[in-house]
């Protein structure tokens, strides 16, 4: 019985000694019974490399390389399609400006499906601050968010479409950028829907087709 107790105490002391090594740094690779691919012969982004003369793992673009629009990632291998999003060379469509000047009108066909898409994206991303009708009365303003502009202010009503698109893409003041989560075409769809909201609050009887004006008096 005495030897059993001594052995038990020895095991406990061994466990305590092993646990005491936890948290200690070492340049040696730890002993791993099941590595699970935790240690791989690869480079991490922005890491150093002794293999290249400049010490960088991420290699610079070779001189003289010409940008290419590329092929659509989702296209069939037998019928590849060009994907303009890879190169984004159309400044009016992808940046909302030509040179340093914002485009006055959206460089995209505005139709009913686009407006419906814009309303859907607007309600998801914009209405929480700007309100469902664009009067800057979203739910966040009820909890203290200040500085949210109304889309019906004359300043925004006369603002070029490209500038609104640029604000959606890059953000402005307290508004964060949405370019990383809203697709390019969806941003233009939101711009088109904002214009529809503005038109709804500034329309006149002359905007109604003559064939439908008689219904107003019914």
The label of the residue with tokens 């370019």 reads 179
pLDDT tens profile 159-174: 999 999 999 999 998 8
CB of 117 within 8 A of CB of 106? Answer: no
* 97 membership: H or E segment, kind and range: strand 97-98
CB count in 10 Å sphere of residue 133? 14
CB of 192 within 8 A of CB of 185? Answer: no
Dist CA 72 CA 82 (whole Å)? 6
Q: At what angle do helices 184-201 and 161-170 cross, to 10 degrees?
A: 130
CB of 71 within 8 A of CB of 80? Answer: yes
What's the token pair of residue 7?
């052995």
Q: Under CATH, which number does the domain 102-203 receive? A: 1.10.760.10
Please report the pLDDT score of residue 154 as a whole number: 93
Q: What is the pTM of this model?
A: 0.66
CB count in 10 Å sphere of residue 51? 9
Please report the pLDDT score of residue 16 as a whole number: 73
Dist CA 90 CA 101 (whole Å)? 14
Q: What stretches in the chain show pLDDT beneath 50?
A: none
């Amino acid at each position: 019985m005495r030897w059993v107790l001594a052995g038990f105490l020895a095991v406990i002391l061994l466990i305590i000694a092993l646990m005491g090594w936890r948290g200690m740094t070492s340049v040696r690779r730890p002993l791993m019974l099941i590595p699970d691919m935790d240690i791989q012969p690869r480079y991490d982004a922005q890491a150093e490399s002794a293999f290249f003369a400049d010490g960088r793992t991420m290699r610079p673009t070779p001189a003289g390389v010409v940008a290419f629009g590329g092929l659509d990632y989702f296209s069939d291998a037998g019928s590849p399609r060009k994907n303009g999003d890879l190169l984004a060379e159309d400044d009016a469509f992808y940046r909302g400006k030509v040179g340093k000047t914002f485009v006055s009108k959206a460089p995209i066909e505005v139709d009913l499906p686009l407006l419906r898409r814009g309303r859907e994206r607007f309600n998801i991303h914009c209405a929480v601050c700007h309100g469902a009708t664009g009067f800057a009365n979203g739910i966040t303003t009820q909890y203290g968010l200040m500085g949210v502009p109304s889309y019906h202010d004359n300043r925004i009503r006369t603002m070029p479409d490209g500038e609104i698109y640029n604000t959606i893409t890059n953000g402005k003041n307290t508004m964060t950028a949405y370019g990383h989560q809203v697709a390019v075409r969806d941003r233009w769809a939101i711009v088109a829907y904002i214009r529809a909201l503005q038109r709804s609050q500034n329309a006149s009887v002359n905007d109604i087709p003559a064939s439908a004006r008689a219904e107003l008096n019914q």
